[in-house]
């Protein structure tokens, strides 16, 4: 059966070049530099006064249900870009049912501006509208887009920092190929902020002049802002609707460097693996690639490393390949970079023109490819790639094609089994202790300042020496320790021979709030000179996942999923899909979130920490090792169970809102059953996501009743262990797998997980033998 093709049918962008995708392409192909003096932020105390600032005020049609008088620039950029992509192919939404329409958003800083406004007001003793925190996490941006376009299919967010936009496009294409959606809005967004500028300034990365990638006299990078969105559609549907197809997303590749928190591997090995994986998934070779839209930041270390990576990735054909950097004209848009540069790559394919690298002067001997200096060049091509490489060593490459009729190669499918588990929770750090706490009904929560909280009393010194943990925050420690314990439980050793075939997908709901506060608070009170370069790398959501790769050596496919309270479940199913398709032999899905006083205060402000509700906020680090059945059997592994199927659905009501009738939950359940080829009566146990939030709990209960009727065993472990935010879904999966393997479940189990903005997952785990 041919693998479904994925068409690009609409583009939308707002950048320093102007408010539309046409403006972006016009500026890029002309080599017009839009890096100018910043007007909307004070720039005193920085190495530069310049950035690729958006000059046009974004005015989306959707109000996103903001608090009165407030707008978040990153979200407004995203909505404007999505509206333009939608308008380019209006037949899509007229034809595709809302339940088959998805959203995938990549970002680095998400709603940082909303969070800063809330935090500064609290610092200064002023009233801070508690609803501002709703718009801080990446998932809120995706759910706001879903609300604006009534998208009720999969709604996901990816935060692999500067690789997030490309990762989002690849993930969206996967959703279509796997039959989870017929059309998906995919892209990224980020906005300039004083926190962001101060961070890069502290690393001494900023250029006082517009960035000059690959030039011998380059001085660093230029930051930028904006958004890019594509409307992806199943190719046969695009043909049926007679849509203008701009290009196709033929494949993508992910990898980890496992080298350094901010610097790339000097030989470009990790980035090269992403390029090679992308080419394999698309069924093309380096000789087929006519153009590379490069990461091209303009820093001393990145440009030579990427040059080496491009050579390794494309092979001998690289000498005939044109390469250029869009960042030389609009700056580095961080989480939006891959999306915006993907749009430029689509237009390059459509018009058969390689845009230039602007500001190019004298060639650097270490950067010796054809960078299309300063002047565009016509090129006859059918295949182009776009590269994005990030902090934490996360790499993503997408392959775009035009005029090719061959579908991507069908994947070498295999079942996916669970072979290792770990859980660092308020019940302790071992699986027996976790099961005992749950089975005996031990309440692991405690009252603190009028709220129920559940903290994990973890002795990190027993797992990590001081030298290793010196520059890690608790989120990173939880992720590394949980992953190590799960690999040990699986009996899977990471070696030089297998490390490239073992990947890590990290899931987090609230992200690195400890490090973000540690970095930002001095900055707000003392100015840019207080910015700490040792802390700044930990402020990105994927930093913990990067630490896992660095400390444990797993450098296969890597990503960070940020679907709110369902983040670790999103990581679990993403890891499952990458494995099933043969992109790795083993994957670790690890979820973690940690409690800080500020995190608790944010939840308290939203009115959810009233002890009378029974809701308790918790922290945890949870990991699940997944393997392809064939490889697990080959090495004699033990299997806790098999991931038999899953479903994803959204309520499509916007950030912080869900359907009280639970219709999205119901669709996720029915999809999971269908994909697992099971009937409701086959299910023995449901592990509920109910945690004490009445509206959400009742919606889930209604859905379960409609699907299963009375009598199905439903368990609610979060009532005892607390709600560990983004780690909660993986915690339920660990308990379900333990229950099956220890004989406490008479048959298949369903693991439920939902974000607080109406994105729902249902995962079915069954007993299996190897």
Query: Which active-site residues does the annotation give?
Result: 162, 295, 332
User: What residue ranges in 45-201 does DSSP mark as E strands?
Assistant: 50-51, 101-107, 155-158, 183-190
Residue 487 contacts residue 588 (beta carbons within 8 Å)? yes
List 6's β-bridge partners, or say none.
234
CA–CA distance, 213 with 221 (Å, rounded to integer): 8
* DSSP character string of 189-227: EE---HHHHHHHHHTT-B-SSS--TTBTT---B-BB-EE
Residue 517 contacts residue 366 (beta carbons within 8 Å)? no
DSSP state of 555: -
Strands 101-107 and 353-354 turn out to be: unpaired
Q: Which of 514, 596, 512, 601 is nearest to 130 (CA)?
A: 601
Q: How many CA atoms lie within 13 A of 415 on its CB side?
A: 19
Buried b (16+ CB within 10 A) or exposed e, 249-283: bbbbbbbbbbbbbbbbbeebbbbbbbbbbbbbbbb
Residue corresponding to tokens 């039959």? 179
List 11's β-bridge partners, or say none.
230
Distance of CA 457 to the CA centre of its chain: 29
Tally Cβ neighbours within 10 Å of residue 612.
7
List 750's β-bridge partners, or say none.
686, 764
Residue 592 contacts residue 475 (beta carbons within 8 Å)? yes
CA–CA distance, 129 with 133 (Å, rounded to integer): 8
Residue 19: phi, psi to the nearest 5?
-90, 10
CA–CA distance, 358 with 624 (Å, rounded to integer): 46
As a three-state string, the secondary structure of 566-615 is HHHHHHHHHHHHHHHCCCCCEEEEEEEECCCHHHHHHHHHCCCCCHHHCC
Q: What angle do CA 259, 108, 469 make, to 5 degrees?
A: 40
Tokens (6 digits) for 620: 């945890």
CA–CA distance, 4 with 437 (Å, rounded to integer): 46
The residues, ordered by sequence, that sit 6+ positions from 715 with a Cβ below 8 Å of its Cβ are 685, 686, 687, 688, 735
Round the CA-based radius of gyration of the chain to a whole number and report it. Answer: 24
Tokens (6 digits) for 376: 């565009």
Residue 442 contacts residue 721 (beta carbons within 8 Å)? no
């Amino acid at each position: 059966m041919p693998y479904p093709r994925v068409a690009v049918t609409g583009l939308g962008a707002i950048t320093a070049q102007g408010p539309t995708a046409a403006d972006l392409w016009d500026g890029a192909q002309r080599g017009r530099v839009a890096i100018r003096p910043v007007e909307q932020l004070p720039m005193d105390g920085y190495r530069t006064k310049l950035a690729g600032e958006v000059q046009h005020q974004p005015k989306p049609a959707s109000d996103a249900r903001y608090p009165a008088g407030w707008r978040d620039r990153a979200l407004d950029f995203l909505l404007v870009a999505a509206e333009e992509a939608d308008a380019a192919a209006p037949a899509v939404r007229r034809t595709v049912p809302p339940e088959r329409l998805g959203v995938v958003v990549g970002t680095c800083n998400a709603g940082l501006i909303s969070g800063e406004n809330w935090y500064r007001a609290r610092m200064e003793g002023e009233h801070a509208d508690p609803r501002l925190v709703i718009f801080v996490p990446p998932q809120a941006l995706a759910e706001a887009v879903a609300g604006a376009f009534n998208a009720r299919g999969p709604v996901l967010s990816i935060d692999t920092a500067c690789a997030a936009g490309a990762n989002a496009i690849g993930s969206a294409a996967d959703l279509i190929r796997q039959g989870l959606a017929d059309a998906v809005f995919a892209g990224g967004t980020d906005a300039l902020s004083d926190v962001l500028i101060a961070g890069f300034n502290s690393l001494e990365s900023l250029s006082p002049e517009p960035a000059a990638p690959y030039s011998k006299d380059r001085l660093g990078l230029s930051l930028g802002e904006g958004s890019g969105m594509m409307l992806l559609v199943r190719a046969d549907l695009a043909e049926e609707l007679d849509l203008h197809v701009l290009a196709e997303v033929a494949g993508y590749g992910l990898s980890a460097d496992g080298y350094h928190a901010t610097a790339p591997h000097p030989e470009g090995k990790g980035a090269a693996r992403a390029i090679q994986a992308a080419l394999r998934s698309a069924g093309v070779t380096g000789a087929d690639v006519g153009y590379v839209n490069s990461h091209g930041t303009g820093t001393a270390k990145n440009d030579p490393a990427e040059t080496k990576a491009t050579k390794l990735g494309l092979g001998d054909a690289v000498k005939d390949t044109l390469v250029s950097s869009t960042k030389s004209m609009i700056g580095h848009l961080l989480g939006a970079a891959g999306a915006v540069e993907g749009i430029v790559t689509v237009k390059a394919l459509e018009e058969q023109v390689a845009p230039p690298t602007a500001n190019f002067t004298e060639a650097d001997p270490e950067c010796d490819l054809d960078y299309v200096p300063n002047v565009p060049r016509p090129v006859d091509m059918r295949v182009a790639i776009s590269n994005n490489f990030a902090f934490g060593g996360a790499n993503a490459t997408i392959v775009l094609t035009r005029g090719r009729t061959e579908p991507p190669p069908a994947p070498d499918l295999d079942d996916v089994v669970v072979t290792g588990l770990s859980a660092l929770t308020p019940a302790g750090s071992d699986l027996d202790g976790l099961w005992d706490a749950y089975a005996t009904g031990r309440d692991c929560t405690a009252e603190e300042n009028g709220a129920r909280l559940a903290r994990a009393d973890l002795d990190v010194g027993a797992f990590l020496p001081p030298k290793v943990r010196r520059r890690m925050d608790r989120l990173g420690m939880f992720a590394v320790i949980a992953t190590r314990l799960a690999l040990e439980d699986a009996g899977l050793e990471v070696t030089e021979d297998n490390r490239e075939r073992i990947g890590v997908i990290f899931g987090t709901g609230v992200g690195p709030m400890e490090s973000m506060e540690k970095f930002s608070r001095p900055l707000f009170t003392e100015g840019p000179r207080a910015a700490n370069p040792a802390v700044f790398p930990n402020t990105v959501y994927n930093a913990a996942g990067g630490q896992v790769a660095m400390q444990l050596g797993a450098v296969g496919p890597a990503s960070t999923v940020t679907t709110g309270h369902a983040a670790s479940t999103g990581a679990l199913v993403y890891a499952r899909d990458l494995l099933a398709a043969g992109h790795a032999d083993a994957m670790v899905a690890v979820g973690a979130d940690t409690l800080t006083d500020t995190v608790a205060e944010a939840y308290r402000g939203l009115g959810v920490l009233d002890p009378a509700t029974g809701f308790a906020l918790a922290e945890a680090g949870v990991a699940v090792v997944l393997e392809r059945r064939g490889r697990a059997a080959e090495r004699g592994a033990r299997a806790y169970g098999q991931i038999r199927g899953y479903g994803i659905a959204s309520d499509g009501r916007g950030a912080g809102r869900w359907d009280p009738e639970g219709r999205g939950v119901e669709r996720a359940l029915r999809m999971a059953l269908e994909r697992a080829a099971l009937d409701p009566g086959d299910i023995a146990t449901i592990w509920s996501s109910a945690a004490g939030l009445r509206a959400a709990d009742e919606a889930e209960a209604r859905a379960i009743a409609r699907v299963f009727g009375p009598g199905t065993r439903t368990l609610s472990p979060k009532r005892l262990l607390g709600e560990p935010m983004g780690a909660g879904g993986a915690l339920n999966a660990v308990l379900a797998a333990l229950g099956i393997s220890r004989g406490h479940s008479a048959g298949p189990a369903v693991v439920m997980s939902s974000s607080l903005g109406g994105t729902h997952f249902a995962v079915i785990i069954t007993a299996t033998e190897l």
